[in-house]
Structure 1
Amino acid sequence: MREDQSGIWTNLFALLDSIPEDSIAITVYVLGVLIILWCWYAISKRLPAPFGGITWIIVFAVIATPTISEGPNSEVAPAIFGLLFGILTKDTPLIWSNSALITFVIGLGLITGYLWSKYKINKNMVTNSAPVKNISPL
């Protein structure tokens, strides 16, 4: 490595050392979730309408639901990791609590999606059923 590049790396590492670890972890987690959801949106919009939305909600619930596990960085871990940890350690309360959280978020998403689709249908019906003026040329 060239000498001028090693100075750049030293300054970059010094900058990263000055930022708290919690801020870096939360930023990486949020940006990772946004990137994954954006990529999945590109896939799901090519799927049939209800199936694409449902899969997007499931992916969101799996990667974005926070866990209730204990530990130093558990507040930034998704519930799927808590669920997998509970399965590996055979900790039944941890399995049920994390799966309940994921199911709750999926349920909220499905209800929100249903209400949103009803709103869009009603909005389109009101827009398309505007009174048509029949103007006679006579």
Structure 2
Amino acid sequence: MVPEQLTVFWNNFLDLFDVLPEDSLAITVYIVGAIIIMWCWTSIMRRLPATLGCILWMVVFALIATPTISEGPNSELAPATFGLLFGVLTKDSVLIWSNLSLILFVIGLGLIISHWANKYRAIRKKATVVEGTEQSPL
């Protein structure tokens, strides 16, 4: 009796996914999965020195979140890491280099943006300290 009710519930639950379009469902799972993985990775990286943690966070972000278009008749959005692994397995050098270049581009862009954000943050912190001492009557 209980397994039959669970089977009915499970079938009704899976019928819900038949209503949703495959493309939007796949992109939603891709984005939500990347967010969950990066949130978990952030809690690990907090225990490392700030510079090393930032670099490793950016590398994992690039490996997980760099998008590419998959090969084949039903080409869709996919992580570039999968394309890179598929290129290595099939020994397709064009596929390897195209996906690796995308991943390295995201790593480089992220490191440049974080460098400038840290510089801006340091300048802003320095200006706040200077303003705080000028306003102080002592």
TM-score by length of 2: 0.89
Correspondence 1:84 to 2:96: no
Conserved 8 A contact 1:86-1:92: yes
Equivalence for 2:124: 123
Using the alignment, how far apart are the partners of 2:136 and 2:81 within structure 1? 57
Using the alignment, how far apart are the partners of 1:63 and 1:44 within structure 2? 16
Using the alignment, how far apart are the partners of 1:68 and 1:87 within structure 2? 16
Equivalence for 1:108: 109
Distance 1:25 1:73, change over 3 A: farther
Using the alignment, how far apart are the partners of 2:13 and 2:75 within structure 1? 24
Q: How many pairs are equivalent?
A: 134
Shift of 1:132: 4.6
Shift of 1:103: 0.5
Unaligned 5+ runs, structure 1: none
Amino acid paired to 2:120: Y
Equivalence for 2:40: 39
Cα deviation digits, residues 29-53 of structure 1 (max 9, x gap): 1111000000011111111011000
| Identity in percent | 54
Equivalence for 1:56: 57
Distance 1:69 1:21, change over 3 A: closer
Conserved 8 A contact 2:69-2:75: no
Conserved 8 A contact 1:83-1:98: yes
Shift of 1:18: 1.4
Using the alignment, how far apart are the partners of 1:78 and 1:8 within structure 2? 33
Using the alignment, how far apart are the partners of 2:25 and 2:111 within structure 1? 32
Unaligned 5+ runs, structure 2: none
TM-score by length of 1: 0.89
Larger radius of gyration: 1
Shift of 1:73: 4.8
Q: 1 or 2, which has the higher strand percentage?
A: 2
